[in-house]
């Protein structure tokens, strides 16, 4: 019976200590909600001379809603994390030269080197977990940097090649003319080839202009690329977005 009492007493003391530590951690957290607008898109890994001219660019309706928290390690440094819902889209029309692509025209599947115009549309909905180190320059300014991991709950990538010609297979392959109307142009839809999981670099800054209210800026760059590693139909593309927004601090 004495051993049982000692065992119960040990459990009670351990539970009390754990609850005390948990209460201390919760009391130290800085918690805020954020709303931001993002500008950017999916960019080639190398901006080489394949893209000769941007005919038009529409960033779409891109925004971020987040609940985030910081746990201070000392007066200057903290760990920053949270959950974000991010919507990203893009509509870009470019003139290209020697552009690798796979398209469908009517019932015909074509693969080769394209010269002409390419229109690309993307739409993504992502749930993101950032893990950052935060450094306080002052009571008002904090700098943040680290990594993010995101899961795409919705992913779209489609478009068409038009007003040009495709050299089938190689730059000296058979020449196939492409028009601008459906049935004449080359269409593509690569939704199924996009990654579900993305990861990359995330840096930002917060400015607290009021006890509760503040502003923030964020820059994210995807290291994983937009498509699966075995996908070769278009050049490697990576998401790059800059976000500006406001935050409200609860505690």
152-197: pLDDT as tens digits: 999 899 999 999 999 988 888 889 999 988 889 999 999 988 889 9
Whether 233 has a pLDDT exceeding 80, the answer reads no
Return d(Cα 139, Cα 83) in angstroms, integer: 24
Q: What is the pLDDT of residue 117?
A: 95
Contacting residues for 40 by C-beta, under 8 A, at least 6 apart: 59, 62, 88, 90, 239, 240, 241, 242
Q: What is the pLDDT of residue 26?
A: 56
Return d(Cα 138, Cα 143) in angstroms, integer: 10
Token readout for 105 is: 């025209």
- The reported pTM is 0.78
pLDDT band at 47 (very low <50, low <70, confident <90, very high): low
pLDDT band at 12 (very low <50, low <70, confident <90, very high): very low
Q: Length of the chain, please? A: 251
Provide, rounded to the nearest whole percent, the portion of the chain with pLDDT above 70. Answer: 87
Whether 76 has a pLDDT exceeding 80, the answer reads yes
Out of 5-14, 72-81, 152-161, pick the least confident. 5-14
116: region left, alpha or beta (phi > 0 left; psi from -120 to 50 alpha): left
Q: What is the pLDDT of residue 106?
A: 82
Give mean pLDDT, residues 120-147: 93
Token readout for 173 is: 């392959």
Give mean pLDDT, residues 215-233: 87
3-state secondary structure of 170: coil
Q: What is the pLDDT of residue 8?
A: 46
pLDDT band at 60 (very low <50, low <70, confident <90, very high): confident
Token readout for 75 is: 């007066």
Q: What is the pLDDT of residue 7?
A: 46
Whether 45 has a pLDDT exceeding 90, the answer reads no
pLDDT digits (tens, 9 = 90+) for 16-31: 443 344 444 556 788 9
Contacting residues for 210 by C-beta, under 8 A, at least 6 apart: none
HSE-up (13 A, CA, CB side) for residue 164: 22
């Amino acid at each position: 019976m004495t051993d049982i009492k000692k065992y119960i007493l040990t459990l009670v003391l351990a539970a009390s200590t754990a609850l005390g530590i948990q209460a201390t951690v919760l009391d130290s957290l800085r918690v805020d909600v954020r709303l931001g607008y993002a500008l950017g898109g999916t960019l080639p890994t190398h901006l080489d001379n394949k893209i000769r001219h941007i005919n038009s660019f529409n960033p779409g309706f891109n925004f971020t809603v987040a609940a985030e928290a910081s746990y201070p390690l000392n007066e200057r440094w903290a760990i920053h994390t949270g959950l974000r819902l991010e919507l990203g889209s893009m509509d870009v029309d470019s003139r290209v030269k020697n552009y690798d692509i796979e398209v469908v025209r009517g019932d015909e599947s074509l693969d080769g080197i394209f010269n002409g115009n390419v229109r690309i549309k993307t739409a993504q909905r992502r749930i993101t977990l950032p893990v950052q180190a935060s450094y306080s320059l002052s009571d008002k300014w904090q700098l943040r940097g680290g990594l993010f991991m995101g899961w795409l709950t919705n992913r779209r990538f489609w478009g068409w090649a038009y007003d040009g010609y495709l050299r089938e297979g190689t730059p000296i392959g058979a020449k196939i003319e492409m028009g601008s109307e459906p049935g004449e142009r080359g269409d593509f839809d690569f939704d199924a080839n996009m990654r579900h999981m993305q990861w990359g670099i995330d840096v930002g800054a917060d400015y607290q202009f009021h006890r509760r209210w503040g502003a923030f800026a964020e820059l994210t760059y995807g290291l994983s690329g937009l498509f699966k590693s075995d996908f070769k139909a278009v050049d490697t593309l990576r998401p790059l977005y800059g976000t500006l927004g406001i935050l409200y601090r609860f505690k």
